[in-house]
Structure 1
Amino acid sequence: MRPIAFAAPGRFWRGNLHTHSNRSDGALPPGEVCARYAAEGYDFISLTDHFVGPFGYPITPTEEFRTNRFTTIPGAELHSGALANGELWHILAVGLPEDFAPSNSPSFAPVPDQETGPELAARARAAGAFVAIAHPHWSGLTEADARSLEAAHAVEVYNHGCAVECDRGDGLHTLDLLLTEGRRLGVVATDDAHFHVADHFGGWTMVKAEENTPEALLAALKAGAYYASTGPEITDLSLEGEEVEVACSAASVVIVQGRGAGTATRHGASMTRVRVPLGRVSASPWLRVTVIDAAGRRAWTNPIWRD
Structure 2
Amino acid sequence: MPTSFFAAPGRFFRGNLHAHSTKSDGALEPAEVCRRYQAEGYDFIAMTDHFVGLFDYPITDTTNCRNKDFTTLFGAELHTGSMENGNLWHIVAVGLPLDFTPPDAPHFKAIEGSETGASLAKRARAAGAFVAIAHPHWSGMTLGDALSIDAAHAVEVYNYGCIVDNDRGEGFLTLEQLLNTDRRLNLIATDDSHFNTPDHFGGWVMVKATENTPEALLAALKAGDFYASTGPQIDDIRVSDDSVEIECSAATTIIMMGQGSSMATLHGTSMTKVTLSRERLKESPWVRIVVIDRAGKRAWSNPIWPDLARFGPIWPDLARLELG
* Partners of 1:7 and 1:169 in 2: CA distance: 32
- Tell me if the contact between 1:4 and 1:224 (Cα under 8 Å) persists in the aligned partners: no
- Contact 1:286/1:306, CA 8 A, preserved across alignment: yes
**In structure 2, what residue type is equivalent to 1:31?**
A
TM-score normalised by the chain length of structure 1: 0.99
| Shift in Å, 1:280 | 1.1
Summarize the alignment of residues 227-306 of structure 1 with structure 2, pairs less than 5 Å apart. Answer: 227-306=227-306
Q: Aligned with 1:75: secondary structure? A: strand
Provide the rounded CA distance (Å) in 2 between the counterparts of 1:49 and 1:239: 39
Which residue of structure 2 aligns with residue 172 of structure 1? 172
Question: What is the correspondence of 1:1-307 to structure 2 with a 5 Å cutoff?
Answer: 1-307=1-307
CA contact (8 A) 1:8 1:225 kept: no
- Mapped to 2, the partners of 1:85 and 1:112 lie a distance apart of 13
- SS class of match (2:165): helix
**SS class of match (1:285):** coil
**Cα distance in 1 between the residues matched to 2:115 and 2:272:** 48
CA contact (8 A) 2:82 2:112 kept: no
Query: 1:173 offset after TM fit, Å?
Result: 0.7
Other structure's SS at 2:32 match: helix
Aligned equivalents of 1:44, 1:11: Cα separation in 2 = 14
Separation in structure 1 between the aligned mates of residue 170 and residue 111 of structure 2, nearest angstrom: 28
Give the aligned residue type for 1:302: N
Q: In the alignment, what sits opposite 2:322?
A: none
Larger displacement relative to structure 2 (279-288 or 41-50): 279-288
Q: Aligned partner of 1:230: which letter? A: T
After TM superposition, give the deviation of residue 114 of structure 1 in Å.
1.2
**For residue 18 of structure 1, what is the amino acid of its counterpart?**
H
The unaligned stretches of length 5 or more in structure 2 are: 308-324
Q: What's the CA shift string for 1:78-115, capped at 9, x where partnerless?
A: 00120111000000000000110111101111112211
Q: What is the alpha-carbon distance in structure 2 between the residues aligned to residue 5 and residue 174 of structure 1?
A: 25
CA RMSD of aligned residues (A): 0.7
CA distance in 1, matches of 2:249, 2:156: 23
More displaced stretch, 274-283 vs 151-160: 274-283
Amino acid at match of 1:274: V
How far the C-alpha of 1:282 sits from its partner, in A, is 1.9
Which one-letter code corresponds to 1:100 in the other structure?
F
Q: Which amino acid aligns with 2:285?
A: P
* CA–CA distance in structure 1, aligned partners of residues 240 and 164 of structure 2: 38
**Total equivalences in the alignment:** 307
- Post-superposition Cα deviations, 1:153-201, rounded to whole Å, max 9, x if no partner, equal 0000100000000000101111111001100000100000000010000
Identity of aligned residues (%): 63
- Partner Cα separation in structure 2 for residue 193 and residue 13 of structure 1: 19
Offset at 1:3? 2.1
Cα distance in 1 for residues equivalent to 2:4 and 2:187: 14
Letter of the 2:42 partner, please give it. Y
Q: Which amino acid aligns with 2:127?
A: A
Partner amino acid for 1:124? A
